[in-house]
A and B are shown apart, each in its own frame.
Chain A
Amino acid sequence: KAGVTQTPRYLIKTRGQQVTLSCSPISGHRSVSWYQQTPGQGLQFLFEYFSETQRNKGNFPGRFSGRQFSNSRSEMNVSTLELGDSALYLCASSLEYQETQYFGPGTRLLVL
């Protein structure tokens, strides 16, 4: 099976812009979670989607949002970018929030 794919892999934006990141889970996986990873804060949970519904959300401002499509693909959006949003954004999938999370390679976002 193909693994979790994320696009784009690298992105440079300026403050105030918005960005949309995409994640395609492993075939058959219906749960998709998003994480932000920074050197200072480590890996932090953003939100989890299952069957197009957000089931859980971490402690991030409303500028961070996401959605899931009927084919389980997911997107996350960050509006009004800030310098502190520079990070590696990781997507992980699982069958139905099983314990093991399968991570994608991440999207490296740099905000200038």
Chain B
Amino acid sequence: GAGVSQSPRYKVAKRGQDVALRCDPISGHVSLFWYQQALGQGPEFLTYFQNEAQLDKSGLPSDRFFAERPEGSVSTLKIQRTQQEDSAVYLCASSSGLGVSYEQYFGPGTRLTVT
């Protein structure tokens, strides 16, 4: 079907609020990745799912960040008690194969601004 979609595209949160960012991968893609991209920087890896299993969460910056993919399709990245340093674009990518051997297709991202 269509490409990777993310919602919302823009989110403004007051410091201390919780936010939830959604990623709809390409249908049938087993692998899903989340990245954080600060202004003027390249994306940095946050976490990786293979179907519903979260196999690598080594990039999550703190325990305020939590990601899930309960049915192996849609994924949600949740940030609790947001702080200003969380302001960034959050990118989701999916691929048809396992791991990063296969090409990753990226969504447009969610721009989070914490005020």
Say whether A and B bind each other: no
